[in-house]
Amino acid sequence: MEVRGAAHSYPVLVGSGLLEQLGVRVRQHLPRKTCAIISDSNVAPLFADRIKSSLISAGFKPMLITIPVGEKSKTLRQVGAICDRMIAAGLDRQSFVVGLGGGMIGDVSGFVAAIYHRGIPHIQIPTTLLAMVDSSIGGKTGVNTRDGKNLIGAVHQPSLVIDDLDILKTLPPREFNQGFAEIVKHAVIADAKMFRTLQSWDAGGAPALQRLIKRNVELKSRIVAKDEHDRTGERALLNFGHTVGHAIERAGNYREFLHGEAISLGIVAACAISMKRAGLGADQRAAIVDLLRRFGLPIRSPSKFPRDKIFKALKFDKKFESGKIRLVVTPRIGSARVATNVTMADIREAVKQL
Ligand SMILES: NC(=O)c1ccc[n+]([C@@H]2O[C@H](COP(=O)([O-])OP(=O)(O)OC[C@H]3O[C@@H](n4cnc5c(N)ncnc54)[C@H](O)[C@@H]3O)[C@@H](O)[C@H]2O)c1
Ligand SMILES: [Zn+2]
C-alpha cells in the first residue's frame, strides 16, 4: 500500500516472505549502493544475515551495525557512535539506512538517517507488532535524554516500510500482546468496525493479521498526514491513553511495564475520564476494558505499585507544559477529541481507580 505524507508518499509492504525479496524491492525504490543496517543484539542474530545477503545479491554494499538491546541504547551518544562508524566506512550522501528492529531501533535508525549528511533515506523493517502498527509509520524519530523520553528528535519519513509477518514468529508473547494496546487505541479513536473485529479475534492466522496490520497502517498514516508536525491537534488524538500511560511507564522506571502495557492502563484511565467529561457510556467503557484484557494486557495496576510516583511523573508530560491540561477523550468508540475541561483532580481520581 502507498502511504501519503505531506511532502511525499512511500510504500508499505505487508505480507509473508518479504525479507527474501528485500534486495529487489529496495532496488526498485533506491538506486543507491551503500547502506548501514542498524539493528539490536536480539534481532541481528535472527535476521541480519538474510537481509545482508538479499541486499548483496541485488548489488548493494551493506554494513551491519548492532547496538545493545533496549531503551538504554536510545541516546545521542549511541547515535554519535553509529554516525562515526558510518563515516569511517565511507558512507555518504548517496547511502541509506535500514532499520531492522522494534520501535527502539526504528527511532534510533530513523534519527541517524535524519541527520547523517543532513538526511539520507530510511528503510524500516519493523520486527515487533508495535513497530509495524505504530512506530514505523509517521516519521517520528529520536532519542531520550536524562530527563525524559523522546525529547530530542526529528520528523523524517521513511522511504519504504517492509512488514514481514514471518518476522513476528520469534517475538515473545508479552512483546506481541503489547502491540494490541496501540491497535485497540486506534480502534477506539477512529474505527468502530475494527473494534468489533477485535472483539471476535481468535488469533486469526496470517491473513487476518495481515489485514489488521494494513488497517492500522492506514489509520495511523491518515491521521499523521493531516498533521505531520504535530501542530494542528489532529495527530494529538494518537496520544489517547498516553498521558497517564507515559506517567506509569516513568513511575515504573521503564522496567515494570512495557510501553503497550502502560498504555493499556492509560487507556483504562482515559476511559474513566471520558465517562465523566465526554459522555462515554458505561457499557462502552466496559467493552474497551474487556478487549484490553482479552489481549493479555493489564487493566489494573499491581496493588503495591506506587500511585504517588504516577502523579509525580505526570508533570513531566509535554502536555502539561503550559499548566493547561489537554487530554484526549472518547465520547464513543470510533471517535476522539481533545478536551480542555479535564482537571488534574479528574486524572488523579482515574489513576486512583487503577
Ligand atoms: N516513533 C514513534 O512514533 C513511536 C511510537 C511508539 C513507540 N515508539 C518507541 O518504540 C519503542 C518501543 O518499541 P518496541 O516495543 O518495539 O521495543 P523494542 O524495539 O525495544 O523491542 C522490544 C524487544 O523485542 C525484541 N525483538 C524485537 N523484534 C523481535 C523479533 N522479531 N523476535 C524476537 N525479539 C524481538 C527486541 O530486541 C527488544 O528486546 C520505544 O522506544 C518507544 O518510544 C516510537
Ligand atoms: Zn504508544
Taking only the tens place, the pLDDT of each residue in 279-330 is: 999 999 999 999 999 999 999 998 888 888 998 888 766 556 566 788 999 9
Ligand 1 centroid vs 41 CA: distance in angstroms?
12
Q: Is 40 in the pocket of ligand 1 (CB under 6 A)?
A: yes
CA distance 295 to 168: 16
pLDDT digits (tens, 9 = 90+) for 26-45: 999 888 899 999 999 999 99
Its pTM stands at 0.95
Ligand 1 contacts CB of residue 100 (under 6 A): no
Residue 310: CB atoms within 10 Å: 25
Q: How far is the CA of 250 from the centre of ligand 1 (A)?
A: 17
Beta strands (DSSP E) in 158-272 are: 160-164
- Atom nearest to 260 CA in ligand 1: 15
Name the residue among 155, 261, 206, 220 with its Cα closest to residue 3. Answer: 220
pLDDT score recorded for residue 232:
84
Q: State the pLDDT at residue 147.
A: 79
Minimum-distance ligand 1 atom for the alpha carbon of 149: 43
Question: Is residue 293 classed as helix, strand or coil in its secondary structure?
Answer: helix
Ligand with minimal distance to 238 CA: 2
Distance CA 4, CA 108 (A): 23
Residue identified by cell 492466522 is: 205
d(CA 9, CA 2): 7
Ligand 1 centre to CA of 40 (Å) is: 10
Spatial CA neighbour of 238 closest among 254, 224, 253: 224
Ligand 1 atom having least distance to the Cα of 141: 1
Please measure the distance between the N-terminal and C-terminal CA atoms of the chain and give it in whole angstroms.
39
Question: Could you say which residues of the chain have pLDDT below 70?
Answer: 204, 316-323
Query: Which grid cell is 265?
Result: 492502563
67 lines ligand 1 (CB under 6 A): no
- Go through 37-46 and write b for each residue having 16 or more CB atoms within 10 A of its CB, e for each that does not: bbbbebbbee
Determine the atom of ligand 1 nearest the C-alpha atom of 74. 41
Q: Is the CB of residue 259 below 6 angstroms from any atom belonging to ligand 1?
A: yes
153 - beta bridge partners?
A: 142
Look at ligand 1, atom 2, and give the residue with the nearest C-alpha.
Answer: 135
Dist. CA 237 → ligand 2 center (Å)? 11
Residue nearest to atom 27 of ligand 1 (CA): 102
Which three three-digit cell numbers place residue 258? 512495557
Looking at residue 325, what is its pLDDT?
84
